[in-house]
């Protein structure tokens, strides 16, 4: 009779499973029911539906949240202008390719017409292929891997690609004579870090930088990075290149301080946000240089307004991810307005016009002036180097 | 008639397992063909199939063989990337997508099975907690190896290296797997039908193994190692059998999973995924194959169904897990359930008596 019980329980669980599926479906069908023609991407009365996804719940939530906030703020401002109206929905993808596809499908059920995400590269590579297959225009704020835009003609980036950052960093260090001996500490399990590292090494050989230490760690063994720092010290590096994220960079700086090792530190856009890292003494970041397209302390009035509004709304200072997302929203708005996109167009129709717009237009945003896009979806804008002085970014010429 | 009845009685569990899987497939396939499923539900079908196979195969090790393995996702990863490389290499050689998928599943399974042998030889000398820790370590090793491999294809054949620069691909060469980024631009081959076939195959292998002479020997080793040894059972050999079969099936599931996404990276196949699969097994019941099938399905759909709760969904998912675990283990619930089943059993018995007369 135990078996009978098992069967009953099984039946019950199967029923609950279908109930689960049903409830997941309801919002989608409801949304479709409220509209006139049942095309797969029919919008509700007059709003263009923008979808995005990012890690809202795990280790990388700080980036996903920043993108969500940046998009939210921008679309609220745009809607207040009274012209085209947008509706935004951001789904959690846990920075995981599988979840990104689930998030994408959920957004498509909702009736998404333009994809303004995902936040991270792994997710974006998976979602980009879906966007390319379905003909949905995709503009990612921060997925910087070069492989993301190879998925299709309709996939665009607003951030620099990782290889560009690697080349840019090597060029910058060599042209400013910042170092004689360079050490690199990178995360070999992270595509962002490896992407920059690889190109940096290639370019370093070209411009004649002497790299004497290449130290790697992985996402699983980053609890203590003192070995890597010590090795750089032993190798006599006077500049340590950090193509990593802020949390790990904070550790590196803390370790270096403990062993009285004071080289110059140079990072990429992942380092942005280091001053706000929890449990990190911002004084240690003095003199750190980084390539970033966004500087929250800039005197540019547009940036100042953005920072003030963002801080008032969300209670924290925006980082480069939020600024990229903000630019994504305005770039989409500019393209939609210029092309006369209306809310009743299907995702495919919007996609066609957006591709034409993006490859021909020039956009001025927080993260750069005169941005243009190549047909492959890569952005062209000037990299900007900043130095941390007295707790704020100061531009370096 | 009586013979058939007898057969159904003794095999009711297996029949129920196959039956539920087949019915679920037919229903979902019908709904999918009739366009009654939303995109997201359609998107869950293949990963659910992969997770069911993973849960059932892990159940063979954890439930039937009684070893706590924490590295199952490692085998899944090996299978996934072996499958992706196979499918990419057969592009242009085998025309049928389904044929390439089947070849990829087979190669994924075999490579993971070989990894299972290599891992199993040192690991299965250990028991209990030690075995758990070492499988965990091997799972991470497998993940890190994949995360540092670069595999490319050009006209001279397949090239394997530890960095992009060392690949030296010739003209027209294509990088299939690039280290930490994993494989991108994978052609999606997996179908729900293939997933369904894989589940049936897995059930066939595992259920038959459990009910065979080997299966009884494996269970004997689990229940009392010394007694099993004393009657002449080769303990290591039988544990190894279960372990390798499990790795083989996990590799096939990995290939199905890998070919369902256009981008797959090694970081997916870490400790967290291993634990997820173990949760499916524990919640479904150790040694209970049907339980694994159902819990894998329910637990996969659950967090997706809770997307409406936004930021709270992962917390609630954890809370639901705790509640279900407590609920099914509560003595009171067990008592109530046993009363209910006894009553239901009574009805059935009476009916049976009635029909016999």
- CA A53, CA A65: separation in Å to the nearest integer? 10
Write the DSSP assignment of A17-73 as a string of letters: HHHHHHHHHHHHHHHHHTSSS--TTPPSTTEEEEEEEE-SSSTTHHHHHHHHHHHHH
Tabulate helix, strand, coil % of chain B (nearest 5): 75, 5, 15
CATH of the domain at A243: 3.40.50.2300
Domain range for residue B335?
A: 2-356
Q: Are B150 and B178 in contact (CB under 8 A)?
A: yes
Q: What tokens does B280 get?
A: 């499916």
Q: Does A3 touch chain B (CB under 8 A)?
A: yes
Structural domain count, chain B = 1
Q: What tokens does A182 get?
A: 């360079």
Which residues in chain B have their CB less than 8 angstroms from residue A89's CB?
none
Please tell me which of the candidates B180, B288, B294 has its beta carbon nearest to residue A14.
Answer: B294
H helical segments located in B177-234: 192-210, 213-223, 225-230
Q: What is the pLDDT of residue A3?
A: 53
Please tell me which of the candidates B24, B263, B301 has its beta carbon nearest to residue A20.
Answer: B301
A335 and A376 part of one domain: yes
A170 and A276 part of one domain: yes
A69 and A175 part of one domain: no
Q: DSSP letter for B94, please.
A: B
Q: Chain B neighbours among A 174-203 (CB < 8 Å)?
A: 188-191, 193-195, 198, 202
- Which among A292, A316, A338 is the end of a domain? A292
A152 and A176 part of one domain: no
Looking up tokens 């770039």 gives A331
Q: With pLDDT > 90 as the criterion, what percentage of chain B qualifies?
A: 57
Which residues in chain A have their CB less than 8 angstroms from residue B140's CB?
220
| B229 backbone dihedrals φ, ψ, rounded to 5° | -60, -40
Whether A7 is in a domain gets the answer: no
- Which among A292, A321, A347 is the end of a domain? A292
Domain range for residue A282?
A: 163-292
Task: Look at residue B311 and tell me whether its pLDDT is greater than 90.
Answer: no
Bridge partners, A385 (sequence order): A291, A396
Structural domain count, chain A = 2
- Which residue has better confidence, B230 or A269? B230
A227 and A307 part of one domain: no
Length of chain B: 357
- Which among A233, A257, A292 is the end of a domain? A292
Q: Does B267 touch chain A (CB under 8 A)?
A: yes
Residue A352: CA count within 13 A, CB half-sphere: 4
Length of chain A: 397
Whether A268 is in a domain gets the answer: yes
**What is the rounded average pLDDT of the residues B237-255?**
96
- Which ipTM was obtained for this model? 0.86
CA terminus-to-terminus distance, chain A: 80
A131 and A168 part of one domain: no
- Residue B10's closest chain A neighbor by CA? A3
Confidence of residue B355 (pLDDT cuts 50, 70, 90): very low
Q: Are A108 and B39 in contact (CB under 8 A)?
A: yes
Three-class DSSP category at B230: helix
Q: What tokens does A257 get?
A: 């301080």
- Residue A121's closest chain B neighbor by CA? B181
Q: What is the pLDDT of residue A272?
A: 81
Q: Are B270 and B44 in contact (CB under 8 A)?
A: no
Whether A17 is in a domain gets the answer: no
Q: How many CB pairs under 8 A join A and B?
A: 170
Question: Of the given ranges (A58-72, A338-352, B277-291, B309-323), which has the lowest mean pLDDT?
Answer: B309-323
A98 and A153 part of one domain: yes
What integer best gives the mean pLDDT of chain B? 88
Q: Are B174 and B88 in contact (CB under 8 A)?
A: yes
Q: What is the pLDDT of residue A397?
A: 66
Q: What is the pLDDT of residue B1?
A: 64
Whether A1 is in a domain gets the answer: no
Q: With pLDDT > 70 as the criterion, what percentage of chain B qualifies?
A: 95
Q: What is the pLDDT of residue A191?
A: 81
- CA A147, CA A162: separation in Å to the nearest integer? 10
Å from B355 to nearest chain A CA? 18
- CA A262, CA A265: separation in Å to the nearest integer? 9
Please identify every stretch of chain A with a pLDDT value under 50, giving residue numbers as ranges: 1, 14-44
Q: Chain A neighbours among B 320-349 (CB < 8 Å)?
A: 337, 340-342, 344-345, 348
Q: What tokens does A136 get?
A: 């949905």
Q: Does B74 touch chain A (CB under 8 A)?
A: no
Question: Cβ of B86: how many Cβ atoms within 10 Å?
Answer: 23
Q: CA triplet B323, A9, A22: central angle to 5 degrees?
A: 75
A156 and A305 part of one domain: yes
Q: Does A376 touch chain B (CB under 8 A)?
A: no
Whether A92 is in a domain gets the answer: yes
Tabulate helix, strand, coil % of chain A (nearest 5): 50, 20, 30
Task: Look at residue B298 and tell me whether its pLDDT is greater than 50.
Answer: yes
Q: What is the pLDDT of residue A317?
A: 84
- CA A109, CA B25: separation in Å to the nearest integer? 22
Q: Are A84 and A78 in contact (CB under 8 A)?
A: yes
**What is the rounded average pLDDT of the residues B119-144?**
90
Q: Chain B neighbours among A 58-97 (CB < 8 Å)?
A: 91-92, 96-97
A174 and A55 part of one domain: no
A168 and A144 part of one domain: no
- CA A286, CA A277: separation in Å to the nearest integer? 14
Task: Look at residue B113 and tell me whether its pLDDT is greater than 50.
Answer: yes
- pLDDT tens-digit readout, B77-93: 999 999 999 999 998 88
Q: Report the candidate in B256, B248, B261 with the shortest Cα–Cα distance to residue B198.
A: B256
Is the CB of B295 less than 8 angstroms away from the CB of A13?
yes
Q: Does A23 touch chain B (CB under 8 A)?
A: yes
Q: What is the pLDDT of residue B341?
A: 64
Is the CB of A24 less than 8 angstroms away from the CB of B181?
no
A251 and A330 part of one domain: no
A154 and A176 part of one domain: no
Whether A338 is in a domain gets the answer: yes
CATH of the domain at B55: 1.10.3470
H helical segments located in A135-225: 162-175, 191-207
């Amino acid at each position: 009779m135990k078996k009978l019980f098992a069967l009953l329980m099984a039946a019950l669980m199967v029923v609950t499973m279908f109930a689960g599926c049903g409830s997941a479906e309801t919002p989608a069908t409801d949304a479709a029911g409220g509209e006139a023609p049942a095309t797969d991407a029919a919008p509700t009365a007059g709003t263009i539906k923008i979808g995005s996804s990012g890690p809202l719940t795990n280790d990388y939530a700080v980036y996903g949240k920043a993108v969500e906030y940046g998009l939210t703020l921008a679309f609220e401002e745009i809607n207040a202008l009274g012209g085209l109206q947008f509706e935004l929905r951001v789904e959690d993808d846990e920075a995981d390719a599988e979840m990104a596809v689930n998030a994408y499908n959920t957004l498509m059920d909702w009736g998404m017409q333009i994809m303004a995400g995902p936040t991270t590269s792994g997710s974006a590579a998976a979602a980009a292929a879906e966007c390319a297959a379905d003909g949905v225009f995709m503009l990612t704020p921060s997925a910087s891997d070069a492989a993301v835009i190879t998925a299709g003609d309709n996939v665009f980036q607003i951030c620099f690609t990782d290889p560009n950052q690697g080349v840019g960093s090597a060029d910058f260090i060599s042209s400013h004579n910042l170092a004689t001996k360079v050490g690199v500490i990178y995360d070999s399990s992270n595509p962002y870090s490896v992407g920059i590292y690889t190109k940096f090494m290639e370019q370093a050989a070209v411009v004649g930088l002497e790299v004497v230490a290449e130290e790697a760690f992985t996402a699983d063994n980053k609890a203590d990075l003192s070995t890597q720092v010590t090795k750089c010290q032993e190798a006599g590096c006077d500049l340590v290149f950090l193509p990593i994220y802020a949390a790990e960079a904070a550790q590196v700086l803390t370790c270096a301080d403990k062993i009285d090792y004071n080289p110059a530190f140079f990072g990429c856009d992942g380092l942005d946000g280091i001053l706000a890292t929890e449990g990190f003494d911002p004084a240690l970041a003095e003199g750190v240089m980084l390539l970033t397209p966004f500087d929250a302390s800039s005197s540019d009035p547009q940036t100042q307004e953005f920072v003030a509004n963002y801080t008032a709304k969300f209670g924290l200072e925006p980082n480069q991810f939020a600024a990229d997302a903000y630019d994504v929203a305005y770039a989409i708005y500019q393209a939609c307005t210029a092309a006369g996109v209306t809310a009743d167009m299907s995702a495919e129709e919007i996609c066609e016009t957006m591709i034409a717009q993006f490859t021909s237009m020039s956009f001025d945003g927080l993260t750069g002036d005169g941005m243009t896009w190549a047909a492959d979806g890569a952005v062209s804008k000037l990299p900007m180097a900043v130095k941390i002085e007295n707790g704020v970014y100061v531009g370096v010429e | 008639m009586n013979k058939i009845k007898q057969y159904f009685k003794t095999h009711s569990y297996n029949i129920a397992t196959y039956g539920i899987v087949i019915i679920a497939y037919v229903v979902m396939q019908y709904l999918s063909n009739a366009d009654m499923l939303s995109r997201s539900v359609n998107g869950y079908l293949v990963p659910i199939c992969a997770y069911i196979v993973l849960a059932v195969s892990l159940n063979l090790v954890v439930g039937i063989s009684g070893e706590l393995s924490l590295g199952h996702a490692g085998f899944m990863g090996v299978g996934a990337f072996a499958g992706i490389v196979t499918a990419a290499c057969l592009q242009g050689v085998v025309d049928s997508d389904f044929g390439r998928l089947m070849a990829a599943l087979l190669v994924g399974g075999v490579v993971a099975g070989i990894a299972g042998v290599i891992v199993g030889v040192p690991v299965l000398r250990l028991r209990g907690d030690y075995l758990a820790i070492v499988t965990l370590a091997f799972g991470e090793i497998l993940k890190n190896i994949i995360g540092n491999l670069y595999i490319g294809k050009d006209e001279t054949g397949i090239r394997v290296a530890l960095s992009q620069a060392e690949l030296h691909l010739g003209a027209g060469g294509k990088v299939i797997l690039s280290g930490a980024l994993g494989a991108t631009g994978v052609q999606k081959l997996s179908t729900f039908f293939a997933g369904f076939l894989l589940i049936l195959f897995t059930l066939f292998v595992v259920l038959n193994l459990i009910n065979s002479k080997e299966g009884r020997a494996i269970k004997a080793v689990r229940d009392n190692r010394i007694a099993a040894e004393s009657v002449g059972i080769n303990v290591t050999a039988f544990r190894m059998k279960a372990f390798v079969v499990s790795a083989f099936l996990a590799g096939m599931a990995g290939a199905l999973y890998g070919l369902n996404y256009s981008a797959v990276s090694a970081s997916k196949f870490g400790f967290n995924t291993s634990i997820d699969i173990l949760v499916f097994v524990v919640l479904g019941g150790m040694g209970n194959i049907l339980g694994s099938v159902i819990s894998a399905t329910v637990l996969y759909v659950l967090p997706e169904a809770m997307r409406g709760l936004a930021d709270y969904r992962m917390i609630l998912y954890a809370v639901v897990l705790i509640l279900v675990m407590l609920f099914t283990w509560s003595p009171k619930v067990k008592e109530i359930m046993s009363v209910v089943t006894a009553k239901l059993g009574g009805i059935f018995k009476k009916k049976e008596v009635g029909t016999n007369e």
